[in-house]
Structure 1
Amino acid sequence: MSIYDLWFSRLKINLKDKIRLLKTHDSIENIWISVFKKNEFNSNKKIYEKFLNAWKLEELKKMYYYMKQNNINCINYYDSLYPQKLKNHDDAPGVLFFKGKFNLINNGLTVGIVGSRDCSLYGKNVAINIANDLARNNINVISGMARGIDSMAHKGALKEDGRTFAVLGCGVDVIYPKENADIYKQIQESGCVISEFEPKTKPFSWNFPLRNRIISGLSDLLIVVEAGEKSGSLITVNYALQQGVDVIAVPGSISSKFSKGTNELIKDGAYIFTKLQDIYSILGIKYEKSLNKKQNIEKKYNKIYSVLSDVPMHIDKIVEITNIDIKYLYELLFEMQVKKHVNCIDGSFYVKNQQLI
């Protein structure tokens, strides 16, 4: 994170020009140098003024320290953590702000789940069940933390200690809607909240269509659970199609206003969701049937044991590899110590019990 990143995020130039700058330089700092040291843009007064207007050093410093104080970070287009999936598209954001564990978004497959804010009980249950199953199968769930289907998708993943990510249409320090405060906090424990908008940015209506391209761009598959004829979810679908991301839609009653959009998508050629296996078939992976709670605990227990060896492993590394929430992981590790299956060293490192190897 640097002052230059904040400057670039504030530039009021169109996305194509931003992408051109990113592709013709090797760092945002060098873009700044080209503008203010090499004077490469002085001949175009309108563009130069936009560069200059964004370079309010004292304001940028205040935002930089605000982010530091509030555990907000950002990565830019050149960062090794920046998702290649986004780089593959010509509408990639130059800077992404986040709170939480951004690095985990690059681990494994990611499925986007979207739908209307105004949704039915049927839609809510489907979203929860799909996200539940994806989490059990160690697949990331990404959505927009809006009311309705988005919230249900996050809840479903969180219920199974899965990785879930929320792309916001406001700053990552702004909880919107307010009733999602608990979800907002929980998401940061297993994944992160993401935005291309600077912290403190309010949830303006025009921000949401822009954020939709990031949801679809980070997805290996996009699931539309419910959508009316004019649902914003259909904007996400259009982005997905432009980005080459497969779309699967959940069918609904022909008389339901909540399913008019999804039924139309199916009519137009989207994959139809009839069972959970449909998702895994499109992703090209073997479907692993959902486990009951006891079996799921055993599975996680075995997963922890399989990553440990006689070489001490830090708790943070175990979290990263197993994708198990750290609070729950401590509980399981404590049980494993009681059963003498693992040993704890210096409070944060774990090894297999040598007598069992």
Structure 2
Amino acid sequence: MAGRLGLCVRYSQMFLTKIHHLQTSSRNIRPSPTCQTKLLTRTFCSNTTAEDVKAKCVRLEERSLVRVAGSDTIPFLQGLVTNDVTSLNTENRALYTMILNVQGRVLYDILMYNLQSNPDSPPSLLLECDHTAVPSLIKLLKMYKIRKKVDICSVADEYTVWALLPGTSDPPVFVSDTGLSVIDPRLPDLGNRVVLKSGTNLVFDCVEGTSEDYHTHRYQLGVGEGVNDLPTGNCTPLECNLAFLNGVSFDKGCYVGQELTARTHHTGVIRKRLMPVTLDRPASLEAGSTLTNEKGKNVGKFRHAQGVHGIALVRLAHSQEKLYCKQDSGEEVGLKAETPKWWPQDPQQA
């Protein structure tokens, strides 16, 4: 797959061997933040696997990019998104965040990438979002732009977005003239996020994956993404596990929708959350369908599924019960919700 799939830089076998010895032994442990080597910013698979499993490379057609560049880029975005944009630099290239409406509801889930070649160059960020949301995102950004020195445009034709699902040996992160590869800032188990200039000849020792592979992997982990899982204006960021996914800063200052998010975090309890669910069988379930328990009580909303693996907004008090969801035909399908291993012990608190 030297033509279309892989990564855009070749690493010698000797270099990869050196990296391999520096990898951590568990995916659940991040390398020490004091390490200065860029290639050590992700967690890695256990080396105890008997047989090597190659990483899967998946082109994410449903994700697109908007570029925000100019001298006022950082302060401009700082007042709009949930996370601390000032934490982006030439060492920390990626950030997960959301843009909320004034009521504190989710409008867009965003992955930010820093394209600066050096700290002294003008800020230039790529905002990855659902491809259907690009026109409305650009419109919203321009509405808040006012007199700030920023340039906002779609770069869907200039860059492509890829996911590298983890294998036994995970690909290194990199930054080059043709793109970048970073550990997914939401959750290391999601693998690498890769942004490449269109037309780049890709070379990496991996296998071709499908969007179904990616979504199945994501749903098994319980990570929502895009308008199917996070319907615009219909969910709160903490219900979507934003705090668990490194997507919000509670001490950065004001941003649109900050008041409700901060109040819920400091004084409230999260009674329902996005959770991975497993269906009894593959079924066609409408997004937003009601979930019920055996007593017929409304305990959540179904979001989306790939095969038997899906994601749903579930009341935590009923998450261990057998759940049901009706198809359009009226036939019920059984579901089982699972608590992700990456959640803290007390998932009620944000």
TM-score range, shorter chain: under 0.3
Q: Which has the higher strand share?
A: 2
TM-score for both structures, normalised by structure 1: 0.27
**Structure ranking higher on relative contact order (CA contacts 8 Å, 6+ apart):** 2
Q: Which has the higher helix share?
A: 1
Greater C-alpha radius of gyration: 1
